[in-house]
């Protein structure tokens, strides 16, 4: 199988201007050389602490930003460096579900006009066809058709997220970036929305990039997981392998803080407390990004950026600890396929 999404060496730098003349004094390297594949129908979880660059990856991959470097291929089309006009016909196939449904829905538009807006922009439908499509989308996400003439403020957070999902589905996308889609919702309805996303994935053959800081949620929904630290992916693995045996010291620390669902069957993990703060992406450490906080840091780590080591079965780790046992690779792999 060919990956639906293929990202290579993605860089997203934001310039820093300072002084009287606002001169360019450096860059915030929010994303600094990120590569991954997502197979059709797959959910890739993208995890890391806030500020690690995961949301920037999500937006950059959909070309909501002009990217600094690298390539992004979606369904065979290179979109990283095409102009806005060439991008427009590709827009329908790639959509985003935002964290805060409140902020992403226009309060002055009815549910029908919110869901219908992308249809108006990209499709020529008769009034009848348009309404039928809006109703169909509302059915898919479990919204009562009688809500079509109401406004976002009349709904609960979970219902508003359903409106956002219906809107994202309007143009039959193949690929959806879900950026913390449940983080702003009550715990009691988070599972409902996640289950809805999974149901829709099966029904509509959707491929997801699922961005979240919530590892328990990612463990539930993702097929594979990529872990980010300070603008880079440090480890990618199937969900099973990642949670059973994290290899990168940062992944180990991150997972050590997650409660085990079944303490009987899995080995006991002591929380690993990391020293210091995450360095600034405007001034990342030399060598390995994690070297200022890594409990296993070696001399080489402060000099040389680690290569990416391939363990097979879709697992890759960027860490000098594995330099001797593994061969270095430049190509990300997409699962076991």
Name residues whose C-beta falls within 8 Å of residue 263's C-beta, 6 or more positions apart in sequence: none
Bridge partners for 44 per DSSP:
209, 224
**What is the nearest approach in angstroms of ligand SF4 to the Cβ of residue 302?**
8
Burial class (CB in 10 A: 0-12, 13-18, 19+), 186: exposed
State which H helix or E strand residue 138 sits in. helix 127-140
Stretch that binds ligand SF4, among 34-42, 80-88, 251-259, 316-324 (CB under 6 A): 316-324
321 binds ligand SF4 per the rule CB under 6 A: yes
316 makes contact with ligand SF4 (CB under 6 A) = no
CA–CA separation, 295 and 301 (whole Å): 12
Encoded one letter per residue, x for contact with Mg ion by CB under 5 A and - for no contact, window 283-322 reads: ----------------------------------------
Helix axes 187-204, 157-169, angle to 10 degrees: 20
Token pair, residue 102, equals: 């409140």
297 binds ligand SF4 (CB under 6 A): yes
- Which residues, numbered 115-154, are part of the site for ligand SF4 (CB under 6 A)? none
Which of 262, 324 has the CB closer to ligand SF4?
Answer: 324
Q: By C-beta, is 32 or 42 nearer to Mg ion? A: 42
**β-strands 175-179, 94-97 pairing:** parallel
Binding-site partner at residue 290 among Mg ion, ligand SF4, none, CB < 5 to 8 Å by type: ligand SF4
Rounded-to-integer distance, Cα 327 and Cα 8, Å: 19
Contact 10, 61 (CB under 8 A): yes
Among 227, 294, 309, 311, binds ligand SF4 (CB under 6 A): 294
Angle at alpha carbon of residue 75, lines to 160 and 139, rounded to 5°: 30
Of 97, 278, 319, 333, the one binding ligand SF4 by CB under 6 A = 319
Only one residue has tokens 């940062």, namely 250
DSSP label at 274?
P
Query: In angstroms, how far is the first alpha carbon of the chain from the final one?
Result: 7
* Residue nearer to Mg ion on the CB measure, 112 or 225: 225
Token reading at 51? 């500020």
With respect to Mg ion, which residue has the nearer C-beta, 179 or 223?
223
43 binds, among Mg ion, ligand SF4, none (CB under 5 to 8 A by kind): Mg ion
43 belongs to the binding site for Mg ion (CB under 5 A): yes
Asked if 207 interacts with Mg ion (CB under 5 A), we say no
Smallest separation, CB 198 to Mg ion (Å): 6
Chain positions 226 to 285 lying near ligand SF4, rule: CB under 6 A, are 248-249
Q: State the residues that interact with ligand SF4 by CB under 6 A.
A: 248-249, 288, 290-291, 294, 296-298, 301, 306, 319-321
């Amino acid at each position: 199988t060919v990956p639906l999404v293929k990202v290579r060496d993605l860089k997203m730098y934001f310039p820093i201007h300072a002084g009287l003349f606002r001169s360019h004094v450096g860059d915030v390297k929010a994303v600094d050389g990120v590569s991954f594949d997502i197979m059709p129908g797959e959910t890739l979880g993208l995890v890391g602490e806030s500020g690690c660059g995961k949301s920037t990856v999500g937006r950059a991959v959909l070309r909501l930003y002009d990217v600094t470097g690298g390539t992004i291929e979606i369904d065979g089309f290179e979109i990283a460096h095409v102009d806005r006009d060439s991008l427009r016909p590709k827009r329908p196939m790639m959509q985003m579900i935002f964290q805060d449904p409140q902020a992403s829905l226009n309060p002055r538009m009815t549910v029908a006009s919110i869901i219908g807006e992308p249809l108006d922009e990209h499709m020529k439908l008769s009034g009848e066809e348009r309404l039928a499509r809006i109703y169909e989308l509302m059915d898919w996400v479990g919204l009562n058709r009688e809500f079509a003439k109401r406004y976002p403020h009349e709904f609960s957070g979970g219902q508003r997220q359903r409106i956002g999902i219906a809107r994202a589905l309007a143009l039959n996308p193949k690929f959806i970036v879900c950026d913390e889609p449940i983080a702003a919702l009550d715990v009691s309805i988070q599972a409902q929305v996640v289950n809805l996303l999974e149901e829709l994935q099966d029904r509509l053959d959707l491929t997801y990039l699922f961005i979240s800081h919530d590892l328990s949620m990612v463990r539930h929904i993702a097929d594979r997981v990529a872990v980010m630290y300070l603008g880079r992916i440090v480890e990618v693995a199937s969900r099973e392998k990642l949670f059973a045996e994290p290899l990168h010291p940062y992944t180990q620390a991150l997972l050590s803080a997650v409660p085990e669902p079944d303490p009987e069957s899995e080995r006991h993990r002591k929380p690993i407390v990391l020293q210091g703060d995450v360095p600034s992406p405007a001034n990342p450490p030399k060598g390995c990004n994690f070297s200022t906080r890594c409990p296993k840091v070696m001399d080489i780590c402060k000099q040389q950026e680690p290569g990416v080591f391939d363990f097979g079965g879709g697992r890759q780790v960027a860490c000098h600890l594995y330099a001797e046992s593994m061969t270095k690779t430049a190509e990300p792999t997409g699962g076991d396929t």
